[in-house]
Structure 1
Amino acid sequence: MRSVRVLGAGVAAVLLVGGGAAGADAAQEPEADLAYHGAASLTSGEVDLRFTPRNHGPSAVPDATVRLRWSEPLADRQELPYGCARSGARAVLCRVGALAADEAGERIALRVQLRKAPTEVQLEIDTVWSSGAVDRNPDNDRQRVLILDTGDAYYF
């Protein structure tokens, strides 16, 4: 780190250049590793989804939000559980809540109706907010699941 002296109007100040407070703040950011595991099924255009969020740590997360996106548009009317809200034609956001380090959160279950009854739909799940926690392993909090209209459960 080097210092630069700035003089002007009879006032002297010292600025720290490089590696200052921003570097210290970055080192203090909490780190959490969020993941989602569950199952989804498709029957006649209705997707039944249930999953459990998990924080592999090392820090707790005071709150988080997960995004669920479908490859097909959702029907206009949906009955979503408390904590979930529609976000566009193909997406729903759900509040995950607080997650302690190395703990599973509350199970999230919802049923959505697609606009049409496709033979398959792809579901993408990812974290969109984690209270400022840094996830250095984001691969396991992003899931892609192909769900066929068989009524069978597809696990992720």
Structure 2
Amino acid sequence: MRRMRGLAVRGAVLAAVAAGVVPARAEGTAGAQESVGAPGTAVAVAEADLSYHGFAVLHGGRADVRLTPRNHGPGDVPDATVRLRWSVPLAAGAQRLPAGCARTGRQEVVCGTGALPADGPGEEIALRVRLRGRPAEMTMDVDTVWGGGAVDRNRSNDRQRVLVLDTGDAYFF
């Protein structure tokens, strides 16, 4: 039951991102938890620090990406959404994407991370996309679109850009 509820929440988030409606991020200035909302309706907001590490490979017009989300804490994150954006458009037509991922534009895909415990890694996300043509190189941007409602004061480690050459070699980030 809990797994089904998580999938439903992740599906709603991915649908909102695909429709261009991105949930607002809570921003604050102090403490591991804060209260936000209308007067008299305070809601506790956890603080977290998301990051992504992995590698990308470009070979023959295909980009293979494996990344592991990590939450450095101090609070748990029930789910988050990571965006992958390539400098080269994705090939036209359907892309085979793993469950929890959706194409949201000419050059981007978003994926739900699932639950991210404080001070722990999440499940690895692995995907392969076909790019338009056979580019000799590309850049790939990785960033958080939605942090599960948590405040993330260190946004520098969840935004990365990696240059990947068509060598078949893994480029780590």
Aligned pairs for 1:66-105 within 5 A = 66-76=82-92, 77-105=94-122
Q: What is the DSSP-based 3-state SS (H/G/I as helix, E as strand, rest coil) of the residue aligned with 1:139?
A: helix
The one of 33, 36, 41 equivalent to 2:49 is 33
Alignment match, 1:48? 64
| CA distance in 1: counterparts of 2:91 and 2:60, whole angstroms | 13
| CA distance in 2: counterparts of 1:39 and 1:130, whole angstroms | 22
Q: Give unpaired runs (5+ residues) of structure 1.
A: 1-23
Alignment match, 2:139? 122
Q: CA RMSD, aligned part only?
A: 1.3
- Over residues 81-107 of structure 1, what are the superposed CA-to-partner deviations in whole Å (9 max), with x where a residue is unaligned? 111000010000101011000000000
Identity %: 63
Q: CA deviation at 1:134?
A: 0.6
| CA distance in 1: counterparts of 2:100 and 2:157, whole angstroms | 23
Q: CA deviation at 1:29?
A: 2.1
Q: Give unpaired runs (5+ residues) of structure 2.
A: 1-33, 37-42
Q: What is the DSSP-based 3-state SS (H/G/I as helix, E as strand, rest coil) of the residue aligned with 2:169?
A: coil
- Over residues 66-92 of structure 1, what are the superposed CA-to-partner deviations in whole Å (9 max), with x where a residue is unaligned? 000000000122110111000010000
Q: CA deviation at 1:130?
A: 1.3
Larger radius of gyration: 1
Alignment match, 1:15? none
**Higher strand residue share:** 1
Q: CA deviation at 1:131?
A: 1.6
Alignment match, 1:108? 125
**Higher helix residue share:** 2
